[in-house]
Amino acid sequence: MSQARRFLLELQRELGGTIPFDRFMAEALHNPAFGYYATRIRGIGPRGDFSTFATLGAPLARPIAEWVHSTRQRHIVEIGAGNGKLARSVLRELGFAARLARRYHIVETSPRLREAQEKELRGFRIQWHATPAEALAATGNSAAIFSNELPDAFPCRIFEKTATGEWHELHIELDPIRQVLRPATLPDSTAFTLGLPPGSRIEVHESYRQWLAEWVPAFHSGAMLTIDYGSPVETLYHRRPQGTLRGYALHQRLDLEEILAAPGLADITADVNFTDLETWGTALGLRTLAHTTLSEFLGKKSAPTEAFRALIQSPSGGRCSVSAQA
């Protein structure tokens, strides 16, 4: 029996016989002994398990650098920098004088990815941090903060609408693997307002909302750019009644049953509800400056960008000179 399965079976016993899916996902991705990001990730890009928009040769660096310039912030914070290639490209696009005038910070929790970033960014002046709160403390709570494909990787809760119209939460049983629906207190999400039929499933990135609440109150001025795949809530589950969750290993897409059979061996992701991101940000004191397709942010249309969104927010009471378009 694998280390992951032994751990999860013991956890299942401690939790009373089932594991909520978001807890399973958290352990499968981040457990220090067997989690995918902690121990198994092979890299990002053609030789890894999956590719991000940036590793596909997409033109993200220049628009992000232009956006950074427009914020007039001295500190730049990238949260979840992957293999470091986007950071290197952004730094080069900023130019020599701007690099001297600014400090670049990276928030990274994966030891393997940080190692890759340090190798990729050798020669640049970078400061690494374990949390956004730590990064903000180093910046005087004022920065241009950005991320590329970050919220989608946060553990999500999964809910299914029953025949009686109630939403129940997905739990997991192991040995043998079985999906179990249980009544639950519903989190704050606009997805529950959709008139979806019984049998429909939705994902809620509640762990991302909780993560934001840990550090956004200390974010006093600047702006935050969030790029990810997803959509506003009204189109998120169009033609996808079983939700958007999937896994990736060696660029092969995995369904839920395959994910459950191989904890720690694959990336797990779900599309982002950008209406939730706006709503949660407002509740935490952020105002939305722009919410566009990635095509509009890049200033050009291309097929790969149509599934991506760009959200720009700033502290409601803080200083920010960034315009709606970089």
Q: Is residue 1 part of a domain?
A: no
How many domains are contained in the chain? Answer: 1
Q: Is residue 116 part of a domain?
A: yes
| Per-residue pLDDT tens listing for the chain (326 residues) | 589 999 999 999 999 999 999 999 999 999 999 999 888 765 554 555 555 555 444 589 999 999 999 999 999 999 999 889 999 999 999 999 999 999 999 999 988 899 999 999 999 999 999 999 999 999 999 999 999 999 999 999 999 999 999 999 999 999 899 999 999 999 999 999 999 999 999 999 999 999 999 999 999 999 999 999 999 999 999 989 999 999 998 778 999 999 999 999 999 999 999 999 999 999 999 999 999 999 899 887 665 556 899 999 999 865 544 444 44
CATH, residue 42: 3.40.50.12710
Q: Specify the 3-state DSSP secondary structure of 52.
A: coil
Cβ within 8 Å of residue 240, ≥6 positions away: none
Name the helix (H) or strand (E) containing 134. Answer: helix 132-139
Residue 129, pLDDT score: 98
Q: Is residue 76 part of a domain?
A: yes
Q: Is the peptide bond before 176 cis (omega within 30 degrees of 0)?
A: yes
Cα separation of 227 and 80, whole Å? 12
Q: Is residue 128 part of a domain?
A: yes
Tell me which residue has tokens 């722009």. Answer: 290
Ordered DSSP codes for 59-123 = S-HHHHHHHHHHHT-SEEEEES-TTSHHHHHHHHHH-HHHHHH-EEEEE---HHHHHHHHHHTTT
Residue 45, pLDDT score: 47
Q: What are the structure tokens assigned to 172, written together?
A: 């997991």
Q: Is residue 17 part of a domain?
A: no
Q: Is residue 5 part of a domain?
A: no
Cα separation of 268 and 255, whole Å? 10
Cα separation of 30 and 36, whole Å? 6
Q: Is residue 324 part of a domain?
A: no
Residue 57, pLDDT score: 47
Cα separation of 282 and 189, whole Å? 13
Residue 140, pLDDT score: 97
Name the helix (H) or strand (E) containing 275. Answer: helix 274-283
182 phi, psi to nearest 5 deg: -130, 145
Q: Which domain holds residue 53?
A: 23-156+201-315
State the pTM of this model: 0.91
Ordered DSSP codes for 232-255 = -HHHHTTT-TT-S-EEEETTEEE-
Q: Is residue 162 part of a domain?
A: no
Residue 43, pLDDT score: 54
Residue 300, pLDDT score: 73
Q: What are the structure tokens assigned to 211, written together?
A: 């993560």
Size of the chain in residues: 326
